[in-house]
Amino acid sequence: MCRENKKLSARLLHAKLRHRALMEDIGYTPARGLMKPQVLDLSTAK
């Protein structure tokens, strides 16, 4: 498990993402068609 976490951390570091995104910052406006329960379910990787 630790090895996978290190690989993920390295990939995220090298991805040069512009923003640190948080689940709490997602906009659930009707125009986007996102359903909060579905997104939260996906975030838990069940």
Instruction: Let me know: does 39 contact 26? Beta carbons within 8 Å.
Output: yes
Give the pLDDT confidence score for residue 21 in this predicted structure: 81
d(CA 4, CA 12): 12
Task: Compute the average pLDDT of residues 31-45.
Answer: 89
pLDDT 10s digits, 2-36: 888 899 889 988 998 888 888 888 899 999 999 99
Domain that residue 31 falls in: 2-44
Task: Compute the average pLDDT of residues 30-43.
Answer: 90
d(CA 6, CA 40): 24
Give the pLDDT confidence score for residue 46 in this predicted structure: 60
How many folded domains does the chain comprise? 1
pLDDT band at 45, cuts 50/70/90?
Answer: confident
Give the pLDDT confidence score for residue 7 in this predicted structure: 92
